[in-house]
Amino acid sequence: MQLLVTGRVQGVFYRSTAKRIAQGLKLKGYVKNNEDSSVSIVAEGDEAILEELLKWCHQGPENAEVKDIDVKYEVVTGKYPDFSIKY
């Protein structure tokens, strides 16, 4: 699953919290800030668990204001060893 999260999502611990949530859900992939102030997330795992992450992403951490999330489902590649923050 690929997510593009827009709104007030940088400078509010969105990446670090998303990483913690995804790791707790045993997902693989990454989260990163984009130059346009959005956040990208690539996550692989069981579809039901991915939906839990997506539900959290709509809320985000306390100071986030999520405006929109573009969701794309993709074939699992298995190339991610864990869930990390990409810089």
Is residue 33 part of the annotated active site? The answer reads yes
- Beta carbons of 18 and 71 less than 8 angstroms apart: no
Q: Which of 8, 15, 34, 63 is catalytic?
A: 15
Is residue 34 part of the annotated active site? The answer reads no
* Angstrom distance (rounded) from CA 86 to CA 31: 6
Q: CB within 8 A of 37, min separation 6: which ones? A: 6, 9, 10
Q: Which of 8, 20, 33, 63 is catalytic?
A: 33
Residues with catalytic annotation?
15, 33
